[in-house]
Amino acid sequence: MSTDTLSHHTDIACKNCGATTQGNYCQQCGQATHLHVPSAREFLHEFIAHYVALEGKLWKTLALLIARPGVLTREYIEGRRVRYLEPLRVYLTFSIIFFAIFKLSGTEMLIQLGDPTPELAAAVADGRAKDTLFGPALPEHADQFERTVGKVKERTSTMHPVLQEKVARFSAMSPQEQRAAFKLVFFSYTPYAIFAMMPLFAFYLKLLYLGSGRRYGEHFLFALHTNAFAFMLLSAMILVPASWSFVVFMLLVWLTFYLPVAMRRVYGGGWTVTIVRWLLLIFAHTISIASAVLTVFSQVLMT
């Protein structure tokens, strides 16, 4: 009898749970009984397969997520799941990719209070605004951040004394220190703030579709898929050269109309009621994003 045959009939103590078992897998916890230190190639395969998710499932998932709004959510609800990536993995993958690209692209975050400057309006008109929003800041707008801080300082006269003190302390920093503090807090808190808004996004959908019989989990699933698509398209908009204005415009159009199309495909109903619900959802979600931005800015003041 061969050694391999004997190994299948020999009692083995599982190294994970300690249970006595036979065969290639523990009958108690499911861990493999024949273990070895993985090679570099096996480590790489595990990383790609389980964390970056670049397997066959990814392409099927992307095909539905990009080209057929709402179909991926319907597939999951109707029980066809094993052929696609898990919704949470899809969301986390593309959100991580977006923030990584956003950070590495050297994006400058310009905050505009009040009416835009004539120079900024001109940049929007001739297509250079993409450089301001998604790429390096335009040289003529390098002092926009400083002007914004000045306006914030001017409006602190009616604030609570404690907040006035924090604004004054932040204003006393050099422009370089202010930018560094804002960027540090932005990239530290914003991904968590946006992820925390997913349950709220699902709650808005729950309110908008009261009486539809949909469970909250279905709304949360829809939120994960649609926001994963948004992260993916925003990442593409950052990577597309600024000179490709038509491509950027088409991506923006698809990003705008993706959500109502997905809502109608998943939830049903006529176009008129879907558009109304979409507008209400966008309004509520915008308020949530504004609140998150204010929260991030308050963290800057408390640094």
How high is the pLDDT of residue 73? 95
Residues of the chain with pLDDT under 50: 1-8, 109-117, 119-121, 123-142
How high is the pLDDT of residue 196? 82
How high is the pLDDT of residue 28? 82
How high is the pLDDT of residue 114? 39
The phi, psi pair for 21, rounded to 5°, reads: -145, 175
How high is the pLDDT of residue 205? 96
Alpha-carbon distances of 261 from 8, 107, 258, 270, rounded to whole Å? 55, 31, 5, 11
How high is the pLDDT of residue 229? 94
Torsion of CA 26, 31, 33, 37, to 10 degrees: -170
Cβ burial of 204 (10 Å; 0-12, 13-18, 19+) is: buried
Tell me the CA end-to-end span of the chain in Å, nearest whole number: 71
Residue listed under structure tokens 């400057």: 117
Residue listed under structure tokens 């109304």: 276
How high is the pLDDT of residue 140? 44
How high is the pLDDT of residue 280? 96
Torsion of CA 240, 244, 245, 249, to 10 degrees: -60
Which pair of structure tokens corresponds to residue 83?
């052929």
How high is the pLDDT of residue 292? 76
